[in-house]
A and B are shown apart, each in its own frame.
Chain A
């Protein structure tokens, strides 16, 4: 079974600074997808960024980028120019690409990000 580990329960960053959230995962599969979801205080999870395992190029979405190291099974999220609205719980998630998985997501425990003004 796949597992996702987020080793940082909490992180804080100053507004306008850069912060990196860590995520590692364990799988024996070669084809899969990785996601970062953001869960603000309203508690609706919002997709931040996604990465296909077969792509070597790291995904970027505006101020958000990932450092995907497939061999190390590492998938960190970098937030540049942090804004107060980035404060939220961030979840790393894994999704198998095998046909029998029905696309369920396996989540890490989350990292609570605080942005200080």
Chain B
């Protein structure tokens, strides 16, 4: 069964460093998402991406964040200068985008630890 894959599973970085989180969505999906979950808190929407551009972003998704789909298969989230408060689990999701359910399938997540 197709699944969303995310790498790495755990990323440790120093404050101020740039990190890139990678995702391979399900191949025939059209909508792509990033969510994050700070330990003990709810899963929060960061950004949605469709037709090679951001379609919606939350207040969390400030200028330090960017997304791209560089090669038609990968979907990346970049944090330019990490802060301690960026430490969280980051989930990638993809969906077909059909009217109706548009079920989102999630990856296993990347745990980002900013030291």
Contact = CB atoms under 8 A, between A and B. Distances in A.
Nearest to B96: A103
Chain A, interface size: which category?
20 to 34
Interface string A104-116: 1111111000000
B60 interface: no
Interface in B4-41: 31, 33, 35, 41
A66 B105 CA distance: 21
A42 B50 CA distance: 28
B44 A103 contact: no
A50 B44 CA distance: 19
A102 interface: yes
Contacts, number: 54
Mostly helix, strand, loop or mixed at chain B's interface? strand
Interface residues of B, number: 26
Contacts of A35: 103
Contact of B48 (A104, A107, A108, A110): A104
Nearest to B102: A103
B107 A44 contact: yes
Contact of A102 (B31, B41, B101, B109): B31
A108 B97 CA distance: 23
10 contacts: A44-B109, A45-B106, A46-B106, A102-B31, A102-B56, A103-B48, A103-B102, A105-B43, A105-B104, A110-B43
Interface of A: 33, 35, 37, 42-47, 50, 52, 91, 95, 101-110
Cβ-closest 3 pairs across A and B: A44-B108, A45-B106, A107-B43
